[in-house]
Amino acid sequence: MLSLHTSPLEQPGTGDAGGMNVYVSQTATEMARRGVEVEVFTRATSSDQPPVAELAPGVLVRHIPAGPFEPLGRDELTAQLCAFTAGVLRAEAFHEPGYYDLIHSHYWLSGQAGWLARDRWGVPLVHTAHTLAKVKNAALAEGDTPEPRTRVIGEEQVVAEADCLVANTRVEARELIELYDADPHAVHAIPPGVDLDRFTPGSRSAARRALGLPRDAIVLAFAGRIQPLKAPDVLLLAAAEMLRERPELASRLVVLIVGGPSGTGLEQPQALRELAVSLGIEEQTRFMPPQPGRALVDVYRAADLVAVPSYNESFGLVALEAQACGTPVIAAEVGGLPVAVPHGVSGLLVPSHDPKDWAGALANVALRPGRRAELSANAVVHAQRFSWRRTTDRLLDTYAQATGAFRRALEQRAEVAV
Ligand code: UDP
């Protein structure tokens, strides 16, 4: 697996670490459990990192020096593509030829490296985009910076070169075909999963105690990378609207924001805190730094609902994790979120980002215990339909198909040559 711009060893929820890190780490670990050894290549960001680290039995992470030993922005990473790819090729050259059977690249930067490695090694390239610039740019938050043209071109190249493309949903599969001219036969829609052993329903009051929250609070939670695209500001604006309509809730309402600045959010890391102050809800808003998965369980269990107000989301792992803990989700009706959250079953989809609409949806669930209980029970059932085991089954099937097709194409080319 190639994961150039972020390592599965990093804590998700800030900077470049998010759902993709969880995806790579969970699928690699699950593959290794089935005897498929995985090596994840990522760029070294510190001289303290060992050249090779074990993520789990059967999963190695290779830190490839490419540029300075420090985190680099995504725009700076394009200049390190050659160095990174050279490092990947050199690592392979230490082995007998034919050491790797298949390359799975994650995000377009890795796809660029994967494309060359595929040609050198004569193995198929499977690629997962995770997000697409054209889709992101079509749904930007007001004032947010669009993704650069270099990325659009780079993505188009990877889509044209990959032997197989994995999309999170059918919506994303269609985007690859319609916006990027992908070969429909090469695109496989495979939903991501959720760790059903970790994210389980549990005592709400125990979780609130663990977080120091009052038993009778009304808790609205957001977890994820803090950036305009994720729209945590919509949750704050909606919470303020809720309080305007129902001032009596002021002493009970708690808005939990879990995560750290990321992407264009790094330009103004204090913006969300300042917004809470300007809305007069600083007392109700509690910011928590990125939490490891086991601590997020308490956040999800403590919450009356989890909000996912993103402008775009190729899937939204947080939405599944919350549901697996029995917490209804209020999500924007964009991208893969309608797959992650069936409207009216385990949560609500909001077709706009208007704080008034959001305040209505939040109140509809958080202030009606009967309704919440119904959605909560359905949420657990819905989340059971997704698991990393299932995702990995489908990925391994896709790998087998890609390998078969690749070998057949090689044989045909050899016959033509004869
Ligand atoms: N996450 C985490 N700690 C945090 C916030 C988020 O571990 O404090 C994880 C979360 O559990 C989820 C991932 O980060 O698995 C975010 O994935 P999602 O698909 O929701 O968003 P993305 O980061 O891919 O945009």
pLDDT per position as a tens digit, 123-138: 999 999 999 999 999 9
- Tell me what the pLDDT averaged over the chain comes to: 96
Ligand 1 pocket check: which of 22, 23, 300 to mutate, most ligand atoms within 8 Å of Cβ? Answer: 22
Question: How much is the pLDDT for 414?
Answer: 85
Other beta carbons less than 10 A from residue 324's beta carbon: 26
174 belongs to an annotated ligand binding site:
no
State yes or no: pLDDT of 295 exceeds 90: yes
Q: Do 177 and 211 fall within a single domain? A: no
Residue whose Cα lies nearest atom 13 of ligand 1: it is: 19
In a domain, 197, yes or no: no
State yes or no: pLDDT of 204 exceeds 90: yes
Q: What is the pTM of this model?
A: 0.97
Q: Do 318 and 403 fall within a single domain? A: no
Q: Do 149 and 117 fall within a single domain? A: yes
Does ligand 1 come within 6 angstroms of the Cβ of 290? yes
401 belongs to an annotated ligand binding site:
no
Does ligand 1 come within 6 angstroms of the Cβ of 265? no
Q: Are strands 305-308 and 285-288 parallel, antiparallel or unpaired?
A: unpaired
Tell me, what CATH number does 99's domain have? 3.40.50.2000
Per-residue pLDDT tens over the stretch 324-376: 999 999 999 999 999 999 999 999 999 999 999 999 999 999 999 999 999 99
Q: Do 396 and 320 fall within a single domain? A: no
In a domain, 9, yes or no: no
Write out the two tokens for 222: 């957001």
How far does residue 264's CA lie from ligand 1's centre (Å)? 17
Other beta carbons less than 10 A from residue 184's beta carbon: 10
Q: CA 105 to CA 94: how far, in whole Å?
A: 21
State yes or no: pLDDT of 4 exceeds 90: yes
Number of folded domains that form the chain = 2
State yes or no: pLDDT of 111 exceeds 80: yes
**94 exposed, middle or buried (CB, 10 Å; 0-12, 13-18, 19+)?**
exposed
In a domain, 199, yes or no: no
What range defines the domain where residue 374 resides?
A: 204-383
CA 293 to ligand 1: nearest atom: 7
Confidence of residue 267 (pLDDT cuts 50, 70, 90): confident
Per-residue pLDDT tens over the stretch 135-160: 999 988 888 899 999 999 999 999 99
Question: How much is the pLDDT for 418?
Answer: 76
- Report which residue type is found at 364: N
In a domain, 8, yes or no: no
Q: Do 176 and 311 fall within a single domain? A: no
Chain-centre distance for alpha carbon 116: 26
Q: Do 160 and 295 fall within a single domain? A: no
In a domain, 156, yes or no: yes
Strand-pairing partners, residue 167, are: 189
How far does residue 317's CA lie from ligand 1's centre (Å)? 6
Question: How much is the pLDDT for 126?
Answer: 98
The most distant pair of C-alpha atoms in the chain lies apart, rounded to whole Å, by 83
Does ligand 1 come within 6 angstroms of the Cβ of 8? no
How far does residue 346's CA lie from ligand 1's centre (Å)? 20
Q: Do 154 and 256 fall within a single domain? A: no
Q: Do 43 and 75 fall within a single domain? A: yes
Q: Do 252 and 311 fall within a single domain? A: yes
Q: Do 376 and 398 fall within a single domain? A: no
Of 29 and 409, more confident = 29
Per-residue pLDDT tens over the stretch 66-78: 999 999 988 899 9
DSSP helix, strand, coil percent of the chain (3-state; round to 5): 50, 15, 35
Whether 304 contacts 372, CB under 8 Å: yes
User: Mean pLDDT, to the nearest integer, of 382-400?
Assistant: 98
In a domain, 142, yes or no: yes
Write out the two tokens for 127: 């690629």
Q: Do 379 and 392 fall within a single domain? A: no
In a domain, 133, yes or no: yes
Whether 33 contacts 387, CB under 8 Å: no
Q: CA 281 to CA 287: how far, in whole Å?
A: 12
Q: Do 288 and 245 fall within a single domain? A: yes
